[in-house]
Amino acid sequence: MKMTLDEQVSFACRRLLSQMNRDSSTSTYGCFDRRFWAWKMTDFPEATFQRNLANLAWYLKHSAAQSAREMIGDALIAGLLYTAKIQHRDGSFDQAYPFERSYGATGFLLPDLISAYQEVRSFCDEDQKKRVEACLSSAARFIAGNTEKHSLISNHLAGAALGLLKAGSLFDNMVFTDHGKQLIETIISNQSGEGWFPEYGGADPGYQTLCVHYLAQIFKLEPTKKIEDSLEKSLDFLQYFVHPDGTFGGEYGSRRTEVYYPGGIALLADKFPIAAAIHKFMLESIENLRTVTLIDIDMGNTAPLLSSAILALKTGNTGAKADRLPHQSDQLSKTFTEAGITIQSTDVYYTVLGASNGGVLKIFDKKSKTLFYDDCGALGLTSSGKMITTQSTCLDNVLTINENKISCESDFFTISNRGANPINYLALRALNLTLMRINFLNEVIKKLMVRWLIKTGDKSSLNRHRDIEFRDTEIGIRDTFSKSGNLKLKSLRQGGKFNAIHMASSRYYSGPQFTGTKPEILNYQSLNMNKPLKTSKIILFGPRAVKSKK
């Protein structure tokens, strides 16, 4: 099956018209959160869905929307007014819970709201203009006067920076512009020398493409040498995570995301040959549905992915000369020491090892262009009922490389499988309506929630040492599990696809997942007697056999 990018974008925009309340007789006219306005199954509207106004503003000019232009135009104005209606007095918006006053949500909304407003401004009356512009100016003041405190999330800062630059231009306000430039400086100063931007303390290729989506637009507005050099380093890093099967990123990243945002890299394709190579390969992958696409995504990520796809469409087909991607080279060895990721490639396979995420290993068959072996780590169940895993982001995990032999070591950490239930949901709402309305306490509790949901828990006494030998046509893997203390296991397995952290932007389906690896059940009894458990396997290419020896 093939579906062009234009067809995917048109389909997604049409779907937005059902997500949006177009009924002018209701108080929620212009709201994009259908769970709130239609199903009435949530108690507040998620503001970030209003980012889709920019996408519908683009669709307004599309031939597929020709017969509905008047309705869409009216709905766009209603959407802008509804966004102003749900804005807090300090200029902020809510995403996760009422009275959140989210920096990230406000930063993401601002550039898209400005884009939408600029498309329909001439159709607004004076009162509508006043209300919308007051909303935009207030959002910009909130971003300029606050910071995101619970973690360093580079793509959030990049979205906020773009919004401030746009607001500075719209309102001729140098305060907004200067704060936007300060955010850009923060992003670049925190960029690793290896080219990656921090996402919750590590490198995440998927979310880095969203960061580049914003930074590339910033570069068009502020074409400085510093931003250019930063983008070039970022592209040099990202090229290694374009996989032979057409997928991108994965569980070796700090946020485990596999969503590729095409717009920023498409915008840079005429300037950077490596951007042209990534764009050409990934556009074909998108249109052949080999990666996560707009067909697969949920409403939570429709706005940014659709916006990025539209930017790629606007850019058009570039005739720029494209470099070869790393997976298209016969022999390659590349290690990002700070990120804890190493890539090894021959003419028959391409591998990515995420030592910083507990030895996550993905092996691709270059001849068949398939994911041949997928090992997202080891999973254990203790006698006390706790799940433990090697898949925890630790940038100081041991990674040793000696020619074609690589060793990494990781401890097991407890997994937080906590979810919402009536009791903790009621407690959260009580806090939302009381203590968390105080900004300081809101930030403290949000930090605790992030630690509770996104970070793995306590370190256990179980450890895995992994030795991998890369040969021309085969890969040997030897694992040694060791334990101390009184920890007792009820089960142990390794391999297969799983995610050990809370991350709503992961676990989307893509076609190549049909070829997934089944988990290997391990005999854990020796570990309960504090004796080591050793396993080994050889991954063979050509005959396509996997020999396993425990």
**116-163 tens-digit pLDDT:** 999 999 999 999 999 999 999 999 999 999 999 888 999 999 999 999
Q: The domain that contains 193 carries what CATH number?
A: 1.50.10.100
For residue 316, the model assigns a pLDDT of: 81
Q: Are both 269 and 344 inside the same structural domain?
A: no
Q: Is the pLDDT of residue 291 over 90?
A: yes
Task: Return the pLDDT at 341.
Answer: 98
- 437 domain residue, yes or no: no
Q: What is the pLDDT of residue 1?
A: 84
What mean pLDDT is predicted for residues 49-72?
93
Q: Please, which pLDDT band fits residue 548 given cuts at 50, 70 and 90?
A: very low
Please indicate, yes or no, if residue 435 is contained in any of the structural domains. no
The pTM is what?
0.95
339 phi, psi to nearest 5 deg: -80, -20
Q: How many domains does the chain have?
A: 2
Of the three residues 258, 284, 315, the one that is the final residue of a domain is 315
Q: Are 129 and 170 in contact (CB under 8 A)?
A: no
Give the E-state strand segments of 396-497 in sequence order. Answer: 398-402, 405-414, 459-470, 474-483, 489-494
Give a yes or no: residue 436 inside a domain: no
Question: Does the structure show a pLDDT above 60 at 545?
Answer: no
pLDDT score at 449: 84
Among 25-34, 143-152, 260-269, the least confident range: 143-152
- Quick check: 265 and 301 in contact, CB under 8 A? no
In this structure, the answer to whether residues 245 and 359 fall within a common structural domain is no
Residue range 388-445, pLDDT digits in tens: 999 999 999 999 999 999 999 999 999 987 778 999 989 999 999 999 999 989 999 9
- The residue among 276, 287, 143, 153 whose CA lies nearest residue 207 is 153
Q: What is the CA radius of gyration of the chain?
A: 24
**In-domain check, residue 79:** yes
* pLDDT confidence of residue 502: 87
Q: Which three-class secondary structure state does DSSP give residue 483?
A: strand
Residue 171 is part of which domain span? 5-315
For residue 480, the one-letter residue type is: T
337 and 309, same structural domain? Answer: no
Of 286, 315, 344, which marks where a domain is finished? 315
Of the chain, the percentage scoring pLDDT greater than 90 comes to: 87
Looking at the fold, whether 294 and 337 belong to one and the same domain comes out as: no
Arithmetic mean of pLDDT, 287-299: 97
229 and 365 housed in the same domain: no
Give domain status of residue 320, yes or no.
no
Domain termination residue (choose one: 261, 284, 315): 315
- Beta-bridge partner residues of 350: 345, 364
Residues 173 and 89 in one domain: yes
pLDDT of residue 116: 98
Point out the least confidently predicted range of 389-398, 426-435, 453-462, 510-519: 510-519
- Average confidence (pLDDT) over 197-211: 97
Q: Are residues 289 and 340 in the same domain?
A: no
491-506 average pLDDT score: 93
8 A C-beta contact, residue 269 and residue 312 = no
Contacts of 64 (CB under 8 A, 6+ apart): 10, 13, 14
Mean pLDDT of 353-368: 96
Q: What is the largest CA-CA distance in the chain?
A: 78
Whether residues 15 and 57 fall in one domain: yes
Specify whether 310 is located in the same domain as 339: no
In a domain, 448, yes or no: no
The chain-wide mean pLDDT, for the chain, equals 94
549 has which bridge partners?
A: 536
> What pLDDT score was predicted for residue 309?
98
Is the Cβ–Cβ distance between 231 and 271 less than 8 Å? no
Whether residue 549 has pLDDT greater than 60: no
Same domain, 238 and 370: no
**pLDDT at 362 > cutoff 90:** yes
Q: Which pLDDT score is estimated for 515?
A: 65
Q: What is the pLDDT of residues 481-496, one digit of tens each?
A: 999 889 999 999 999 9
| Cα–Cα separations (whole angstroms), residue 174 to 143, 164, 166, 244, 422 | 14, 10, 11, 46, 47
* Segment holding 454, helix H or strand E: none
Specify the residue for token string 């080591």.
532
How confident is the model at residue 514, as a pLDDT?
A: 64
244 with 336, same domain: the answer is: no
User: Which range has the worst mean pLDDT, 281-290, 351-360, 473-482, 499-508?
Assistant: 499-508
Q: Quick one: which H or E segment has residue 451?
A: helix 439-453
pLDDT range class, residue 516, cuts 50, 70, 90: low
Q: Are residues 308 and 336 in the same domain?
A: no
End-to-end CA distance of the chain: 41
The backbone torsions φ and ψ at residue 411, rounded to the nearest 5 degrees and listed phi first, read: -85, 165
Apex CA 437: angle with CA 433 and CA 440, to 5°?
Answer: 145
pLDDT > 90? residue 258: yes
Position 361 in a domain: yes
| Residue 165 lies inside a defined structural domain of this protein | yes
- Provide the pLDDT confidence category of residue 54 given band limits of 50, 70 and 90: very high
Output the pLDDT for position 272.
Answer: 95
Tens of pLDDT, residues 75-98: 999 999 999 999 999 999 999 999
**Is the Cβ–Cβ distance between 107 and 53 less than 8 Å?**
no
In the chain, the percentage of residues whose pLDDT exceeds 70 is 97
pLDDT higher than 70, residue 454: no
